[in-house]
Structure 1
């Protein structure tokens, strides 16, 4: 049996409550790590990713070299799982450089502090944010939401490009909200599929120009970073793990409505139960001849006539019987 350690201080208790599962999860945090050897290009890529995600404390960057992290190898995920649980990060970026795989970048997602899926890309034709003259000034601010544009049919037909699209959306979309202010839409991530294995990644800012009307004219200005992502390898989760990770809790269970059912043709069908109606006791506008007093008097008169008729019949019968006896 595993021993459950209870928090001894209020600060530790609050930290554990933040890390506990919730019906509405917080924004996903990203963990940025360096391998045993990195290049200048790779260091700039990791730094720019950190600036794009640092708003709101959604990014943690470690500069220490991690030689024991090998995401695609068996047993090389232990240190990665530990750091994910320590920092409460559900996304990670791991950069390494070697002769076989130069400027190598591994993007991955975590589930329950274990590696969920992985995708490995190579960096080519990189341009940092500083080369465009903007630096860190136009990095996303707290509360801003970026737009995404995926150009190319490969994002819908190729499995590895579809996987890359999902990972990029999870990394840069920020917190999921129902409503957003239009002023918070200040940047666009443009991903263009150049061929089956290469994607051009660009970050553009939105500029509102005068158009002579109420609606402004929108222009896109490239603010960096921009790079080519060359697909190398990827690993998808198995079906059981995917099914478990895709489970969602019902926030407000639907209350069962009595006597209502659904129909494909008619839509919603309901049954209405009407109680027995006493028409005689209903307060309606009635004709003069149908008033209650007249009906009662007519019924009493009819009853008296019937009674008198029966008495006459009995008298006549008695007289006829007497005549027969005397005769």
Structure 2
């Protein structure tokens, strides 16, 4: 069906092309012009036939519903050609194959990369914010320096270029900065699933303080790639939907790579987020400074190292339910089997219960003539004879005394 429809479309175009040239040739009075026109018709027909065969061989996927619609409803020929899919080239070198394997879905995904982009217009404050975020995630981030005029994440059709860049750079997080009169110093933080927009949070930047403006001892500066603490202060992160969504996105943006074990020496920073109101959050980046406390546990002090800013929530878009359900699926290989009668404790670890059934010793079958029973009888018999001899001697002694 796919081949027949494709051949039909290309042949119809070829016939229309032939009719046009034939009409042009019939209107011409010169024999030489007619000969050239007919020769052009034949050459065009041969080229179109070759192209038809190449297209048919390279087809991988065609939307069958649109094909049916194209068969029953009269559509322009250009509309029909849009459904002819070009051949997807397979990688020929080992390097290209390795790159495709890196981007292929895995059971345990690696750390999420962040894409940082500029909008049509950005202010100096916004440029500094994007640079500071890039330095915080320098080990796992990609930053574009050119401006992007056709990216509007919250508008339909405005996310096409963003999804394309996400696919090319293999980034599942993005930070997009733009500046306008209606929304000054605007920052859009979003996540993607399968390189399609998953959710979005738009915030405004106020009272920005960069790393250069903070004075502190450079020895306590956080290292690149270290794991951070997070402190979310305020009831708004549990009650307000916008702040709950912002909390999830910030955690996903700054948490780094997920690991199973941690070295306490690598915990050298903390992100403090304070919910002042239902629309405003104070974001502060601090370093951990350990001091003597007279005990084994040191005293911890927070030193502001920047950047710090006020985030004003403007717009947000939650993920679609069907997309969220698809993204939350877990591979069957990763689902742990439930252990019966086992529980976890924060102090003692794994705790299990052992149920021992009744042994029913009294109903156990014994041998017919056990050796132990014989021995007990012999001992009892010997003990009884000794008692009899003792009683006889005692009676005899009593009789002797009485006769005397």
Deviations 1:60-81 (A, max 9, x none): 0000100111100001111111
> Does 2:300 align with 1:214?
no
2:281 corresponding residue in structure 1: 199
Structure 2 spans left out of the alignment, 5+ residues: 1-59, 62-86, 343-352, 377-404
Q: CA deviation at 1:121?
A: 0.5
Alignment of 1:52-201 (within 5 A): 52-55=136-139, 58-133=140-215, 138-142=221-225, 144-201=226-283
1:310 corresponding residue in structure 2: none
Q: Does the 8 Å CA contact 2:216/2:303 hold for their aligned counterparts?
A: no
More deviation, 172-181/103-112: 172-181
Deviations 1:1-39 (A, max 9, x none): 345542211111111111111111111110000001100
1:44 corresponding residue in structure 2: 128
SS, match of residue 213 in structure 2 = helix
Structure 1 spans left out of the alignment, 5+ residues: 291-327
2:310 corresponding residue in structure 1: 228
Separation in 2, partners of 1:99, 1:188: 34
Q: CA deviation at 1:59?
A: 0.4
SS, match of residue 226 in structure 1 = strand
> Does 2:99 align with 1:15?
yes
- Taking a change above 3 Å as real, the CA distance of residues 52 and 261 of structure 1, as seen in their structure-2 partners, is closer
Deviations 1:128-183 (A, max 9, x none): 111114699835423x1000000010000000000000000000001111220111
Q: CA RMSD in A?
A: 3.0
2:113 corresponding residue in structure 1: 29
- Taking a change above 3 Å as real, the CA distance of residues 271 and 131 of structure 1, as seen in their structure-2 partners, is same
SS, match of residue 130 in structure 1 = coil
Separation in 2, partners of 1:135, 1:30: 29
| Greater relative CO (CA pairs within 8 A, separation 6+) | 1
TM-score normalised by the chain length of structure 1? 0.78
Structure richer in strand, relative to its length:
1
Q: CA deviation at 1:212?
A: 2.6
Deviations 1:86-131 (A, max 9, x none): 0110000000001111000000000000000001000000011111
Separation in 1, partners of 2:136, 2:164: 24
- Taking a change above 3 Å as real, the CA distance of residues 221 and 239 of structure 1, as seen in their structure-2 partners, is same
Separation in 2, partners of 1:230, 1:47: 20
SS, match of residue 287 in structure 1 = helix
Q: CA deviation at 1:269?
A: 7.8
> Does 2:373 align with 1:287?
yes
